[in-house]
Amino acid sequence: MLAEIAAANAAFAVIKEALNNGGELAAVGAKLGEYFGLKSEIQKKVKKDSSDFWELEKIKQQEDELREMLIYNGRAGLWDDWLKFQAEERKKRDKEAKELKAKQARRREIAYNIFVAILIGLAGITGIGIVVLMVMVANGWRP
């Protein structure tokens, strides 16, 4: 969690510095995306463990400051476009997460099926061995 917070703070510092120095928003587009992704990860972790609630509040304050920078330093409607971009990225990440879970479930299913096949094979070989031994004993074979 600390790594994500530090990375988000670093990304925000780069964005803020670039915008304060008159830089173009397009130049910090990658950092904006990185910041949003880190914010999303931090939110998920805070939902699981609320001990870092105040760190998330700092991130929200940074986002308010970022909103103001985008509104006043960017073109008209940029903040709305940014919100749409965030929604699309969230959908993309959610879809990727679902696909990953489906792949993992499929791998577990394959591993389980292989395990069951091996057990059935071993049981079959053992059964055949017992039948052969019984036939040999019935025919008078003594060890």
Q: Is the Cβ–Cβ distance between 64 and 34 less than 8 Å?
A: no
Task: Please state, in angstroms and rounded to a whole number, the distance separating the CA atoms of residues 28 and 26.
Answer: 5
- For residues 56, 60, 63, 68, the Cα torsion angle rounded to the nearest 10 degrees is -160
Type of residue at 4: E
Q: Is 22 left (phi over 0), alpha (psi -120 to 50) or beta?
A: left
Tell the residue number behind the tokens 């476009």, with chain if given. 81
Task: Please state, in angstroms and rounded to a whole number, the distance separating the CA atoms of residues 9 and 56.
Answer: 11
What count of Cα atoms within 13 Å lies in the side-chain half-sphere of residue 38?
A: 24
pTM summary value: 0.57
Quick: pLDDT tens for 56-101: 788 888 888 888 877 777 677 777 887 887 788 889 888 999 999 9
Is the pLDDT confidence value at 135 over 80?
yes
Task: Please state, in angstroms and rounded to a whole number, the distance separating the CA atoms of residues 58 and 73.
Answer: 22
> CA angle at residue 20 from 14 to 23, to 5 degrees?
75
The predicted pLDDT at position 69 comes to 79
The predicted pLDDT at position 25 comes to 66
Task: Map residue 1 onto helix, strand or coil.
Answer: coil
By the 10 Å C-beta count (0-12 exposed, 13-18 middle, 19+ buried), 12 is classed as buried
Q: Can you read off the two tokens belonging to residue 109? A: 């299913």
Is the pLDDT confidence value at 54 over 70?
yes
Query: Quick one: average pLDDT of 126-137?
Result: 93
